[in-house]
Structure 1
Amino acid sequence: MFKKIGDERAFNGILNQIIDNIQNGKLKAGDALPAERTMAETMGVSRPAVREVLRALELLGIIKPVPGGGNYITENLDTWLIGPLTILFKLNNGYLKQNQQFRAALEREAAILAAKKCTPLDAAELWMILDRLDSEEDEKTRGELDRELHTKIAKIADNPMVYSVLAAADQLTDNIVSGTRDYIMRKNNSSKDIDEQHHRLVEAIINNDVEQAEHCMSEHMDTIERYMDEMQKECKPEGKRI
């Protein structure tokens, strides 16, 4: 699985070999990596060098260490991007509007893919979330169900990259959806327009209507961005980037 490292820097050589083994299937989700000493001897590097790479991969969410039990490839490789992307979004925290625009583009793509791939089981789960949204009176819980609906659409899309980026964006803007819904409720005494958009979106997805799904998600994202702009204009501190 591993071989002697040539002229490249030890860190890069170790990292590249681990990633290559994941890509070619020699290392799969849940597999244990060889012991640090074995890896160091096989690649002709020091144990601290191996440990440095393993620590970096742990921070990225690719490797999960078990105290006294070695290091394992994460069980869910589809979500490993969430960690580094969350850090990136947090570093860009001042530009919430740009992050929302980027997220909107991914939400539209997720809706398109979901409309192509939605199964009867997926449709039932989407309707179940909508039913809970319709019957729930607590606005905080409705905000959580709103996020759950968008997460389900991203999962139906069945694209790990799209799902991971959206999940990372969610962790940064965790309070935006519920905050926006609160603002809409204060302004309109109702979130009827958002709820109706959700219904049209779900109907398009379960009917495998790609064009309508894209249109509905675009309309929904435009509405969210408009309300976010209004919120930020009302409470933006001096010098705050939007």
Structure 2
Amino acid sequence: MFTEIRKENPFQEIIDQILENVQSGKLHKGDALPAERVMAESLGISRPMLREVLRALNILGVITTVHGGANYISENLENSMIRPLSILFRLNNSSVYQNQQLRAALEVECAILAARNCSPVDAAELQLIIAKLDASQDESERADLDRQLHIKIGEMAKNPMIFGVMSASAQLTENIITGIRAYIMQKQQSVAHVDEQHRNLVSAIISHDEELAENCMKEHMRTIENYIKEISGM
């Protein structure tokens, strides 16, 4: 599975070999990596160097290290971009408004793909979230359900690249949905129109109407963007 390191950049080659084994199917989600001693011998490197690489892959979300030192390929590889991208966004001092622009572009594409891919099980899960939103009177719970709805639509897109970037973007504004709902309530406005947008969006996705789903999500994102502008005094 692994070959002796010969390049001038051993750190990068070790990472490349592990990733190539995942891409080729030699390693699958949840598979255990060989013991550090065995792996270090196969690669022809020291165990301290191997540990540094494994720590980096753990930070990236490619592997999971459990108590006792065993390392496994992550069960959620689709989330492996979230942490490094979130760090990148923070380092670039991305504003909430800029972040929303990115999120909007990704969410619109997710809505189109979700409408294309929606299965009966997906439809039932979306309808359940909407039903809970309609039934709940707890604004904190409703904000959480709002997030769940967008995450579910992102997952239905079945594009780990889009979902990873969208999730990383969401981490910068993890309180944005709660904040916007609170802002609407403070202005004594009803969140009913936002909930109606959610219902229309879900209906379009369940009906496999990609164009309508796209338009519904665009409208919803414009609403969120307008509230961000108000809150930010833009």
Spell out, residue by residue over 1:143-176, the C-alpha distance to the aligned partner (whole angstroms, 9 max, x if none). 1111111111111111112222222222221110
**SS of residue in 2 equivalent to 1:72:** strand
CA contact (8 A) 2:112 2:213 kept: yes
Q: Structure 2 vs 1, CA of residues 69 and 52 (structure 1 numbering), >3 Å: closer, same or farther?
A: closer
Structure 1 match to 2:134: 134
Deviation at 1:63, TM superposition (A): 1.1
- 59-68 or 144-153: bigger deviation: 59-68
Aligned length: 234
Unaligned runs of 5+ in 1: 235-242
Alpha-carbon separation, structure 2, partners of 1:177 and 1:92: 22
Letter of the structure 2 residue corresponding to residue 196 of structure 1: E
The answer for the alignment partner of 1:228 in structure 2 is: 228
Shift of residue 9 of structure 1? 1.2
Does the CA contact (< 8 Å) of 2:103 and 2:170 recur in 1?
no
TM-score (norm 1): 0.92
1:69 shift after superposition: 4.9
2:97 — aligned with what? Answer: 97
Residue equivalent to 1:180: 180
1:199 is matched with 199
Gaps of 5+ in 2: none
Amino acid paired to 1:233: G
Which segment is superposed worse, 122-131 or 98-107?
Answer: 122-131
Shift in Å, 1:94: 4.5
- Residue type of the partner of 2:48? P
> 5 Å matches for 1:107-122?
107-122=107-122
Hey, what does 1:219 align to over in structure 2? 219
Q: Which residue of 2 aligns with 1:29?
A: 29
Q: 1:20 matched to which residue of 2?
A: 20
The separation in 1 between residues aligned to 2:36 and 2:88, in whole angstroms, is: 30
TM norm structure 2: 0.95
Q: Distance in 2 between matches of 1:2 and 1:92?
A: 37
**Partner SS state of residue 64, structure 1:** strand
SS at match of 2:68: coil
How far 1:85 moved relative to its partner? 1.9
- Render the CA deviation track for 1:115-154: whole Å, top value 9, x for unaligned: 0011122112111111111121121111111111111111
